[in-house]
Structure 1
Amino acid sequence: MSANKQPNIVFITTDQQRFDTLPPYAPTFLRTPHMNHLMRDGITFDRAYTSSPICVAARASMLTGKSPWNHHILGNQETSKTIGREGTLPTLLHDCGYQTAAIGKMHFGPERTRHGFDEMILPADYYIEMEKSGYPLKPMQHGLGQNELYAGMATVPESMTLTNWTANQCVSYIRDRRDPNVPFFLWCSFSKPHPPLDPPEPYYSMYRNCPIPEPVISDWSENDVPVAMRRHRESWSDDLVPPEVIREARSAYYGLITQIDYNIGRVFGALQDLGLFHDTLFIFTSDHGEFLGDHHTGCKQFFHEPSARIPFILRLPKSWKGRRFGERVEHLATHADILPTVLAAAGGKAPSDCDGENLIDYLDGKIKNPRKYLEGTIGNILGDNPNVSYLGITDGEFKYMWYPEGGSEQLFDLKNDPKEMKNISKSKKHAATKKRLRDEIISRQKERGGLFLKNGDLEILPLKNDTEKERRSNPWPGYHTEFFHVDVRH
């Protein structure tokens, strides 16, 4: 595939959107016409995963083209602790002659850190604008936290929500604020469907009477939960949320996705008005998923399918010779692939320390040894006490996770058990598969200086002495007002 000129590039991200909110996995009633448009006119990477199912670590990979192990952010640590301006996606695009804009949730730290973007407009600007507007209704006044698995309703009309405002800021950039003589890169970053689960009407009521899928409850999630995961769900008490409340939460979650989708149509319209839509390159993805009650769990963090598997679509410009479209590929894709793919389209070259793959080259068959595995983890390796909750890896057919605390493990056959209902780590039939994946993790950790290994094997840590009562008294529901100084107001 080849280009006649540098394309404009629109990178659309959502926050906390599960892979199964798009066809063929989504409920048939879920309305996502504009995301579906990209799928029909693009390439869907069906086995896309985040390497760290949490906001900052995932976005750092988008920004740098590196895995969390190499940009050194495995959790929600401040990006500026390890990332500056040099070598970032916007800086490298600037070297290619692009103007760059980031609009919406970035979760860079400190909040106004640009990492090389020419222009950046954040949710903080929305809340400042709303506070100064004099409008009697204010957003996010329902009292729900940023991590709660409870449905509510927006406290402003749809046209005044953060989702609508983000789309309109993108429309304004496309129409009014960019230099028409040079190509542009626009990161359009929606803060939803991350909680609070508070869609406005008509989206709040849109799916309330639909056959909402029930949460997936596996055998292991009842009686054989890894202690790190048990601590997470008991700390947040997600396992105590009643089924009828989970159903309302899922309905609201779907409503937020449709609201985003319809607002993406506004961005498409701005491009179409100016004759730019067909020859714009689009990438659509999310930073991570959301358990939504699956396995008695909420939020994200762990490497299971609802949390770590993400939508990932590449729509190439229609003018490109030999472009592919309307296809699904099984190749393992991840956020680190965005930087080399975008730079290739822009006529640039990824840095030598980039971990990602140029997906355009992959589609053209130019990558001799495409990746065989993707890793997943969450933790903190910046301080004097490095730690991880788990070490995970997948080859797209099987998935293995090691939990250092207590030394427990999980193995799933994704082809025959896509909902991860049965932990087969003790199965003799799959012993060789488990050893292969486990050995791959050990080999990679040896290359990292033996981190989280002991005597050449995966480290086992003693169980902490916290009780269930103590865990439930230390939740993190994300209580914030609209005045908080970190980019976590959704």
Structure 2
Amino acid sequence: MRLLASLWPDDMTHTAFVAEQSIEFMRHQAGTGQPFLCIAGIYSPHSPWVAPQHYFDLYDTDSLQLPTFPQEIESQRGPQNYPDDELRLARQGYYGQISEVDLHVGRMLSSLDEMGIADDTVVIFTSDHGEWLGEHLRYGKGYPAHDQCSRVPLLIRPPGDTFTARRDSGLTEALDVLPTILDLAGIQVPPHLQGSSLLPRLHGDAPGGASALTEHTGWKSLRTDHFRYLLHADGTENLYDLSAEWGDYRDVASDHAYASDLAASRHELGRKLLAAERPLPRAWPY
């Protein structure tokens, strides 16, 4: 593994390009006085670790905290298999890219202030996936959707000063973002749309979701407050107690002490899949 310092100026990276194009678009729309939706799709942080060198230099590899592993996983590591120096380098690259993203997101937010439209604009910052960064002896993302891959930031800044800043630790899904945007814009949520508006939670009037689903061909991974449940196309199941030490490494589906938790997870997955097929009731806001 190695970091790739970009050879072009800071304002010519992909992240800088996306920010500049987004600012230009928002400035044009602000001039027309018309509402707009701007989606700034920034690729970073993502492998390969490419960014201007000075962002990597912000992080001293010797001071970066490394993940720990249960003994059965630690015994698989070695000089050629996820050594400490490689894990540190991965973190330096990832964190350096995050710092570049942070700078350009700040530029976009500042531009809203400069245009005088910040108080009329909903800002949402999120990501489509995370990164193992060597945990579970993996890089990238994928099966079985461990928290390192599926737990991502979701920051929402509603317009004006009608909301009190709060941190909500309840479960949320990417499917909830679109209904939230529509709700904040006063637009009817179509009955076929999956997900739920987070507006009640922004007001502090609703609890977090009961579960969050990640799925792909051949498997479904259900995250609840304390467990991750996996169901495969061949009927095999896994259950991980995330409140236990090394819980996300050790399958307890065959442990009789977890029989009721396994049954509850099956029930929640079935309930969630049925709910996804059920049309929303029509509720016109006018």
Instruction: Give the TM-score band, short-chain normalised.
Output: 0.7 to 0.9
DSSP-derived class of the 1:190 partner: coil
Q: Is the 8 A contact 2:61 2:89 kept in 1?
A: no
Within-5 A mapping of 1:160-199? 160-176=12-28, 179-199=31-51
TM-score normalized by structure 2? Answer: 0.83
**Which of residues 210, 213, 235 is equivalent to 1:372?**
210
Q: Is the 8 A contact 1:152 1:196 kept in 2?
A: yes
Structure 1 counterpart of 2:260: 432
- Judging by fraction of residues, say which structure has more helix: 2
DSSP-derived class of the 2:49 partner: coil
The letter for the 1-side match of 2:160 is K
Q: 1:341 Cα deviation (Å)?
A: 0.7
Q: Does residue 1:423 correspond to 2:261, yes or no?
A: no
Q: Which digits, 9 at most, give the CA deviation of each residue in 1:156-209, with x for residues without a partner?
A: 222211111111111212223555321222111211011111121210211134
Structure 2 counterpart of 1:360: 199
Q: d(CA) in 2 for partners of 1:212 and 1:282? A: 31
Q: Which digits, 9 at most, give the CA deviation of each residue in 1:203-235, with x for residues without a partner?
A: 021113452222343456579xxxxxxxxxxxx
Worse overlay, 155-164 or 292-301: 155-164
Report the identity percentage: 27
Provide closer, same or farther for how the CA distance between residues 289 and 427 of structure 1 changes in structure 2, counting only shifts above 3 A. Answer: same
DSSP-derived class of the 1:206 partner: coil
Q: Is the 8 A contact 2:18 2:41 kept in 1?
A: yes
Q: Is the 8 A contact 1:394 1:437 kept in 2?
A: no
**Which of residues 75, 79, 84 is equivalent to 1:243?**
84
Q: Is the 8 A contact 1:216 1:419 kept in 2?
A: no
Structure 2 counterpart of 1:344: 183
Q: 1:425 Cα deviation (Å)?
A: 2.6
Provide closer, same or farther for how the CA distance between residues 176 and 445 of structure 1 changes in structure 2, counting only shifts above 3 A. Answer: closer
Q: d(CA) in 2 for partners of 1:431 and 1:165? A: 52
Structure 1 counterpart of 2:100: 259
Q: d(CA) in 1 for partners of 2:232 and 2:135? A: 19
The letter for the 1-side match of 2:92 is S
How many residue pairs align between the two structures? 273
Aligned alpha-carbon RMSD (Å): 3.0
DSSP-derived class of the 1:350 partner: coil
Q: Does residue 1:324 correspond to 2:153, yes or no?
A: no
Structure 1 counterpart of 2:54: 202
Q: Which digits, 9 at most, give the CA deviation of each residue in 1:228-277, with x for residues without a partner?
A: xxxxxxxxxxx934432222121011000011001111111211112222
Q: d(CA) in 2 for partners of 1:163 and 1:354? A: 31
Q: Is the 8 A contact 1:412 1:420 kept in 2?
A: yes
The letter for the 2-side match of 1:267 is M
- Judging by fraction of residues, say which structure has more strand: 1
DSSP-derived class of the 2:221 partner: strand
Provide closer, same or farther for how the CA distance between residues 413 and 178 of structure 1 changes in structure 2, counting only shifts above 3 A. Answer: same
Q: Which digits, 9 at most, give the CA deviation of each residue in 1:422-476, with x for residues without a partner?
A: 4333333322111210243356668999xxxxxxxxxxxxxxxxxxxxxxxxxxx
Q: Which digits, 9 at most, give the CA deviation of each residue in 1:14-73, with x for residues without a partner?
A: xxxxxxxxxxxxxxxxxxxxxxxxxxxxxxxxxxxxxxxxxxxxxxxxxxxxxxxxxxxx
Q: d(CA) in 2 for partners of 1:436 and 1:352? A: 28
**Which of residues 394, 401, 424 is equivalent to 2:223?**
394
Structure 2 counterpart of 1:40: none
Provide closer, same or farther for how the CA distance between residues 442 and 336 of structure 1 changes in structure 2, counting only shifts above 3 A. Answer: closer
Q: Is the 8 A contact 1:412 1:425 kept in 2?
A: yes
**Which of residues 140, 151, 155 is equivalent to 1:309?**
151
Structure 2 counterpart of 1:151: 3
Q: Is the 8 A contact 2:241 2:247 kept in 1?
A: no
Q: d(CA) in 2 for partners of 1:324 and 1:212? A: 34
Q: Is the 8 A contact 1:220 1:421 kept in 2?
A: no
DSSP-derived class of the 2:41 partner: strand
Q: d(CA) in 1 for partners of 2:112 and 2:26? A: 7
Gaps of 5+ in 2: 278-286
Worse overlay, 200-209 or 437-446: 437-446
